[in-house]
Amino acid sequence: MNDASPVRRRQVIDALRRGAVPAAGLDLLAVGLDRFVTTVSEDLEAVATGNSVFKAIRGEYGSGKTFFTRWIAEQAKRANFAVAEVQISENETPLHKLETVYRRLTERLSTATFPPSALRAVVDGWFYALEEDVLAAGEVAADDADAFDKAVGALLDQRLATVSRSAPAFAAALRGYRAAALGGDPATADAVLAWLGGQPHVAASARRVAGVRGDLDHFAALSFLQGLLAVLRDSGHPGLLLVLDEVETLQRVRSDARDKALNALRQLIDEVHSGRFPGLYLVITGTPAFYDGPQGVQRLAPLAQRLAVDFTTDARFDNPRAVQIRLTGFTVDSLIELGIRVRDLYAEGSAAPQRVRAVVDDDYLRELAQAVAGGLGGRVGVAPRLFVKKLVGEVLDRVDQFIDFDPRQHYALTLTAAEMTDVERNVTRADDIALDV
């Protein structure tokens, strides 16, 4: 039994029925992640106290990298961190253009209470905190508007002094946003906030109000990230978890863009370790080919040195504190354990929980797990998504709704190419595979 609320349980089950990673409640499904719990907790605590952490996650396609990073994100939000997951891609978010990475970060920024984009909520919360600090100092009366605004501006400059040395435009944009908002000009306030978030092509009239020029560039992006971390910290968020997902796509871009992207990644890692970004928990994900192959990390020797970890020993003894950690993927046993968790979670919301557990017993879960893995060429590591999708949508839903439904008699597993991802499709040998279970 678990203490999941009916709403939380339903959200998880609905996502699994669609073959998607649930947006929340991943702790209910976390199988095989126990060895990372302590280290993730230590990392979050370190970041919350003003340090910064970098982690590289490696795993084959289907090994659970997305699930793992979103599981970390859940832990981060419980610690009141802000979170942003950015998909690296050649066309949408090239890694060598850090201004684009920063823009995607602000677009996907979320907190425990605000969905993406939470940038406005964070900035408004920051100004509220500044105003409260000014009032608490007792040096300015709240009804003296001019003196109060001047004191808030002075505190703004003080809090962002370090950032302003390299990017004075960040503080200028914040001042412009507040002035427009207080002046009853929401359109200008929106435009200035968009510029602060790295959006291009903001109206020149709005930029003039804030006293800034042009668009955010590659070099200013890191300073703006530094400023965002300061704003997050002072608005009650002790850190930011930034996930750069699918970094292995760098292997498929032009060689010149690839080299720039690898160097940008090296620069990011060095800046994290230098202490420039207090409150940043930076995570990247990639395949073993990206970390070990000639078109990935190994192409840039300094980057390869920074990410080097010995994975020749038994995976049982992998060090979760290492800069690079690997996900070994699912086995049949862990797939069954996942099935048990899903079945029990489903049963708790069923009108006949005992019947659900009796009909879909552990032995049947083993049969279904082996059948799905067999339909995917024995590649158990890529089976979890389809396994839980079939389990919920084609087995548990029917057991729950039809009292005479017995999956051993009335259900034959069918895997079709149309319902598979590219990775799942690539490991099958036929478009349609029917297996009796």
Q: Which superfamily does CATH assign the domain made up of 32-111+237-326 to?
A: P-loop containing nucleotide triphosphate hydrolases (3.40.50.300)
What per-residue confidence (pLDDT) applies to 380?
75
Residues above pLDDT 70, as percent of the chain: 97
What per-residue confidence (pLDDT) applies to 401?
94
Which amino acid, 118? Answer: A
What per-residue confidence (pLDDT) applies to 236?
94
Question: Is a pLDDT exceeding 50 seen at residue 167?
Answer: yes
59, HSE (Cβ side, Cα atoms, 13 Å)? 24
How far is residue 200 from each of residues 120, 172, 260, measured CA to CA in Å?
17, 17, 22
Residue ranges per domain, the chain?
Answer: 32-111+237-326, 134-213, 332-436
What does the alpha-carbon distance between residue 230 and residue 237 come to, in Å, rounded to a whole number? 9
140 pLDDT band, cuts 50/70/90, is confident
> Long-range contacts of range 182-187, CB-CB < 8 Å, 24 or more positions apart?
182/149, 185/209
More reliable by pLDDT, 139 or 302 = 302
More reliable by pLDDT, 86 or 377 = 86
Mean pLDDT of 316-321: 94
Mean pLDDT of 90-107: 95
Strand partners, 286: 58
Question: Is a pLDDT exceeding 60 seen at residue 93?
Answer: yes
Residues above pLDDT 90, as percent of the chain: 76
Question: Is a pLDDT exceeding 50 seen at residue 63?
Answer: yes
Mean pLDDT of 272-297: 96
What per-residue confidence (pLDDT) applies to 376?
77
Mean pLDDT of 153-169: 93
Burial class (CB in 10 A: 0-12, 13-18, 19+), 165: exposed
430 pLDDT band, cuts 50/70/90, is very low
What does the alpha-carbon distance between residue 199 and residue 215 come to, in Å, rounded to a whole number? 8
What does the alpha-carbon distance between residue 246 and residue 168 come to, in Å, rounded to a whole number? 33
Question: Which residue's entry shows tokens 């996942």?
Answer: 338
Mean pLDDT of 215-229: 93
Q: Tell me the torsion sign for CA atoms 47, 116, 228, 99.
A: positive
Which residue, among 375, 382, 360, has the nearest Cα to 417 in the 3D structure?
Answer: 375
277 pLDDT band, cuts 50/70/90, is very high
What does the alpha-carbon distance between residue 269 and residue 309 come to, in Å, rounded to a whole number? 15
434 pLDDT band, cuts 50/70/90, is very low
Question: Is a pLDDT exceeding 70 seen at residue 64?
Answer: yes
What does the alpha-carbon distance between residue 105 and residue 116 come to, in Å, rounded to a whole number? 10
- Output Rg (C-alpha) for the chain, integer angstroms: 25
Lowest average pLDDT, out of 39-43, 83-87, 134-138, 142-146, goes to: 142-146
What per-residue confidence (pLDDT) applies to 143?
81
What does the alpha-carbon distance between residue 203 and residue 239 come to, in Å, rounded to a whole number? 32
Question: Mean of the per-residue pLDDT values for the chain?
Answer: 91
428 pLDDT band, cuts 50/70/90, is low
Question: Is a pLDDT exceeding 70 seen at residue 3?
Answer: no
Mean pLDDT of 141-167: 90
Taking only the tens place, the pLDDT of each residue in 233-264 is 999 999 999 999 999 999 989 999 999 999 99
2 pLDDT band, cuts 50/70/90, is low
Mean pLDDT of 399-413: 94
